[in-house]
Amino acid sequence: MPSRPFPPSSPDLPSFRPPNFLTKTRVLFLALTISASLVILSSIIYFLYHLWQSLVNRAKTIPFDSSAPLKLERFSCKELKNATNDFDGANVIGKGGSGTVFRGILKCGKLIAIKRLDALNLQSEREFQNELQILGGLRSPFLVTLLGYCVEKNCRILVYEYMPNRSLQESLFGDGLLTLGWERRFEIISDVARALEFLHLGCDPPVIHGDIKPSNILLDFDYRAKISDFGLSRIKVEGEFGVDMFSQDLGKSQELWKSQELSGNLAADTPAIGTPVESASEVDFALALQASSSSKNSRKCCDVKALNLNSVTYNANIAFESDMKSCHGKGKEVSTVDLGGDDWNNRFVPYDDELSSIDHSKELNFVAGSGVDDAEDTKQWGKDWWWKQDGSGELCSKDYVTEWIGSQICPSTNPDWDDEKKSIHEKRGLDVSTPVDKLENANEPQLQEFGFGNPNKGFEKKELKSRKNHKRKPRKMQEWWKEEHLAEISKKGNKLKNLETKWKKGFKMPRFGRWMYLHRRKNFREQSQDKCDQNGEFSFRRGWKKKTAHSVGSDVYSGDLFSRELSSTTSMRGTLCYVAPEYGGCGYLMEKADIYSLGVLILVVVSGRRPLHVLASPMKLEKANLISWCRQLAHAGNILELVDERLKDEYNKDQASLCINLALSCLQKMPELRPEIGEIVKILKGEMDLPPLPFEFSPSPPSKLYSRSRRKQTATTE
């Protein structure tokens, strides 16, 4: 078929477009489309990139609060594995109740300490969050710096600055070599006091550490002390109750306390964790945060942003921060106000040699009273030794330990308190003109208001009887122990076996006052139904701590497992022997609880002994309970006997005397009588005099007077 010819071109018809033009248009269209798509694509990529960036940056902040004041580094597990050579056992530097601590080295060569939680449970998670939220938001040269963390699946790791001289625990009880001379010890005490000053006064709201003890005091290159482990810390939130039930609104608090006691349910009126501050006097921060997902109020109350430094500002560890910058290209904002010179002058309260020269053995002997056969043994250590067993003529160290535990944990079961009250009564009856009467007058109603004395009256009578008759029925501690802690201990089957073997081999079967057991159990069972279940019935939450050979200062280094384990075993509310009596008995955690722990710590540092140090030799038993021993020495006016023998005479007597006296005032049973941390720091600096020692620690009145009155009183009771 012939092709149709092109129509002839005419000026009216559109001119013919050559194929060349078509191609150009197409190319242009294509180019435009492509570039438009590229622009759109790149904007999408740009948008996505920014989205990703913001997500990544957000993930690097602390969980629960992306706007925490100091951003912590988020490490990947892989990074930390590399830093520790896959968590090699050779890098283990310590083992705590909740985790293992490794030494690590970052790519930049920076040394770090890595704490990996052993198991993930509510308690460890809570402590992990506490550490992040509280320590992560604080910077002070007196606190160990938390550098970062790692959260991946079941893995929880905290990364700290590395402290080359490890913990005070290891320095004091480590290898037996004397690494801590007097000057260092005194500096450590001062550092800890200043750390607490920072927490109590330099933070707004105040932070209460809640677990001051030697293993939580870490030592830097120069042996300067820093506080670590904020797992049990609390941020104190002011509420309707008044900030401090004991010290700030005593009258109101007493009424409240009394009404709670009367209603028989202290816990019922206790604000629950995470409740709004309007009704809570202190808040469990981590749980509050967790609860905050469902409660806007609680979040508002507990936001970590509220944690500011107030007028007391401190020089942060700038050198370390800048090191971290060079490692990670990130810096944290730090306060740069200088602390000022550490002018530790030597103006201390002089040690009173005169007091120590008074012979008080008679009074002490009389206080021991009941002992006839054992008069010789009890002569010096008086009332603390009434549980000496009949017949055998031997002191049982376990009795001492168990008695002490019972007496220190729960104020209402504390016979020591009653003894002290009794001795105050006796002394008051003797000499009304004695100035200490005023103090006693002030305390007595408070003691009763707080229910510290009365509930035990029935028990007291029984005890007195049994003491007189010398027919105290032995109670096997194992029974009590197993009943209380079987669930916990049985998880660690081998440990229990070891313990049992140790008990059988090394000690007589321990005895334990049944009244104390029953009363304590009753108290705890009642209270634990409500508050203590969640919040801290005394229990060895972490069981017997497994110490590795790397953990110097642990059990490996000396023979008495029992005392060591006890004084380093953390319960839900602190560590036995260090925890304040009012707190151990399910009370509120206040600053004064830290002050009590500081008192114990000071004695430990000065004496180089554990607070509970039971040795196999009965000769040493009188010194087993450090606090009790110190009180006895103070009573006898010879406190310097407490100073670590290893120091020989190479220590400053004035400073040592000051420290011991200060410790004693921190160890007062009534929290409101303990000094404030600001005062403690001033006293240690020599800027303030030590307040007069409380009656219970001051040397006894003249022996004649005292003995006569005692005799008179005994005669009337008989």
Ligand X SMILES: Nc1ncnc2c1ncn2[C@@H]1O[C@H](COP(=O)(O)OP(=O)(O)OP(=O)(O)O)[C@@H](O)[C@H]1O
List active site positions: 211
Build a one-symbol-per-residue string for 463-482: x at contacts with ligand X by CB under 6 A, - elsewhere: --------------------
Cβ-count burial 98-113 (b if 16+ within 10 Å, e if not)? bbbbbbbebeeebebb
Residue number, 212 or 666, with CB nearest to ligand X: 212
Residue number, 96 or 205, with CB nearest to ligand X: 96
Residue number, 334 or 552, with CB nearest to ligand X: 552
Residue number, 166 or 520, with CB nearest to ligand X: 166
Chosen residue from 73, 75, 97, 207 binding ligand X by CB under 6 A? 97
Task: Report how far Cα 250 is from the mean position of its chain's Cα atoms.
Answer: 25
Does position 160 interact with ligand X (CB under 6 A)? The reply is yes
Residues 6+ apart with CB under 8 A from 193: 598, 677, 680, 681, 684
Counting Cα atoms < 13 Å in the Cβ hemisphere of 582 gives: 26
Residue number, 114 or 516, with CB nearest to ligand X: 114
Looking at residue 167, the DSSP 8-state letter turns out to be B
Beta strands in 244-306 (DSSP E): none
- Segment interacting with ligand X, rule: CB under 6 A, options 161-169, 280-288, 460-468, 635-643: 161-169
Residues 228-247 that bind ligand X (CB under 6 A): 228-229
Return d(Cα 17, Cα 25) in angstroms, integer. Answer: 12
- Segment interacting with ligand X, rule: CB under 6 A, options 209-217, 284-292, 400-408, 707-715: 209-217
Chosen residue from 70, 106, 144, 656 binding ligand X by CB under 6 A? 144
First and final C-alpha spacing in the chain: 147
Q: For the chain, give the number of residues.
A: 718
Task: Report how far Cα 80 is from the mean position of its chain's Cα atoms.
Answer: 27
Residues 6+ apart with CB under 8 A from 226: 141, 142, 143, 144, 163, 191, 195, 217, 218, 219, 220
Chosen residue from 62, 70, 80, 101 binding ligand X by CB under 6 A? 101
Does position 276 interact with ligand X (CB under 6 A)? The reply is no
Residue number, 567 or 665, with CB nearest to ligand X: 567
Report the chain's C-alpha Rg in angstroms: 33
Structure tokens at 581: 């009596």
Residue type for 278, please? E
Q: Nearest approach, Cβ of 167 to ligand X (angstroms)?
A: 4
Residue number, 156 or 511, with CB nearest to ligand X: 156
Residue type for 542, please? R
Does position 167 interact with ligand X (CB under 6 A)? The reply is yes
Return d(Cα 210, Cα 595) in angstroms, integer. Answer: 10
- With beta carbons less than 8 A apart as the criterion, state whether 557 and 451 touch: no
Does position 96 interact with ligand X (CB under 6 A)? The reply is yes
Does position 124 interact with ligand X (CB under 6 A)? The reply is no
Q: Nearest approach, Cβ of 141 to ligand X (angstroms)?
A: 14
Structure tokens at 678: 């600001």
Chosen residue from 73, 80, 94, 377 binding ligand X by CB under 6 A? 94
Residues 520-549 that bind ligand X (CB under 6 A): 542
- Burial (0-12, 13-18, 19+ Cβ within 10 Å), 313: middle
Return d(Cα 587, Cα 591) in angstroms, integer. Answer: 12
Interface size with ligand X, residues (CB under 6 A): 26
Does position 104 interact with ligand X (CB under 6 A)? The reply is no
Residue number, 213 or 609, with CB nearest to ligand X: 213
Chosen residue from 162, 186, 515, 540 binding ligand X by CB under 6 A? 162
Q: Nearest approach, Cβ of 528 to ligand X (angstroms)?
A: 22
Does position 115 interact with ligand X (CB under 6 A)? The reply is yes
- Segment interacting with ligand X, rule: CB under 6 A, options 155-163, 201-209, 402-410, 607-615: 155-163
Return d(Cα 683, Cα 673) in angstroms, integer. Answer: 16
Residues 6+ apart with CB under 8 A from 448: 454
Does position 171 interact with ligand X (CB under 6 A)? The reply is no
Looking at residue 228, the DSSP 8-state letter turns out to be -
Return d(Cα 523, Cα 585) in angstroms, integer. Answer: 9
Q: Nearest approach, Cβ of 143 to ligand X (angstroms)?
A: 11
Chosen residue from 91, 169, 571, 607 binding ligand X by CB under 6 A? 169
Does position 681 interact with ligand X (CB under 6 A)? The reply is no
Q: Nearest approach, Cβ of 642 to ligand X (angstroms)?
A: 24
Partners of residue 207 on adjacent β-strands: 235
Residues 6+ apart with CB under 8 A from 65: 133, 289, 303, 304, 305
Does position 166 interact with ligand X (CB under 6 A)? The reply is yes
Chosen residue from 65, 68, 72, 98 binding ligand X by CB under 6 A? 98
Chosen residue from 170, 560, 594, 679 binding ligand X by CB under 6 A? 170
Structure tokens at 82: 């590399």
- Burial (0-12, 13-18, 19+ Cβ within 10 Å), 530: middle
Kind plus residue range of the DSSP H or E element containing 148:
strand 146-152
Structure tokens at 365: 């002997």
Does position 216 interact with ligand X (CB under 6 A)? The reply is yes
In the chain, how many H helices and how many E strands? 27, 14
Chosen residue from 68, 70, 72, 113 binding ligand X by CB under 6 A? 113
Does position 512 interact with ligand X (CB under 6 A)? The reply is no
Chosen residue from 117, 159, 163, 212 binding ligand X by CB under 6 A? 163
Instruction: Give ∠ CA 258-261-263 in degrees, rounded to 5.
Output: 110
Does position 698 interact with ligand X (CB under 6 A)? The reply is no
Q: Nearest approach, Cβ of 440 to ligand X (angstroms)?
A: 37
Residue number, 96 or 148, with CB nearest to ligand X: 96
Residue number, 170 or 377, with CB nearest to ligand X: 170
Q: What are the phi and psi torsion angles at 335 (to 5°)?
A: -75, 135
- With beta carbons less than 8 A apart as the criterion, state whether 484 and 520 touch: no
Does position 550 interact with ligand X (CB under 6 A)? The reply is no
- Segment interacting with ligand X, rule: CB under 6 A, options 57-65, 167-175, 401-409, 659-667: 167-175
- Segment interacting with ligand X, rule: CB under 6 A, options 41-49, 87-95, 420-428, 666-674: 87-95
Q: Hey, how many other C-beta atoms are within 10 angstroms of the C-beta on 605?
A: 25
Q: Nearest approach, Cβ of 122 to ligand X (angstroms)?
A: 16
Residues 6+ apart with CB under 8 A from 133: 62, 64, 65, 68, 285, 286, 289, 304
Residues 560-599 that bind ligand X (CB under 6 A): 570
- Segment interacting with ligand X, rule: CB under 6 A, options 94-102, 360-368, 398-406, 593-601: 94-102
- With beta carbons less than 8 A apart as the criterion, state whether 706 and 700 touch: yes
Q: Nearest approach, Cβ of 365 to ligand X (angstroms)?
A: 41
Residue number, 408 or 567, with CB nearest to ligand X: 567
Residues 6+ apart with CB under 8 A from 485: 539, 540, 543
Return d(Cα 560, Cα 553) in angstroms, integer. Answer: 12
Chosen residue from 212, 218, 225, 489 binding ligand X by CB under 6 A? 218
Residue number, 229 or 696, with CB nearest to ligand X: 229
Does position 484 interact with ligand X (CB under 6 A)? The reply is no
- Segment interacting with ligand X, rule: CB under 6 A, options 22-30, 166-174, 474-482, 706-714: 166-174
Residue number, 552 or 662, with CB nearest to ligand X: 552
Does position 257 interact with ligand X (CB under 6 A)? The reply is no
- Strand, coil or helix: what is 11? coil
Looking at residue 204, the DSSP 8-state letter turns out to be E
Binding site for ligand X (CB under 6 A): 93-99, 101, 113, 115, 144, 160, 162-163, 166-167, 169-170, 211, 215-216, 218, 228-229, 542, 570
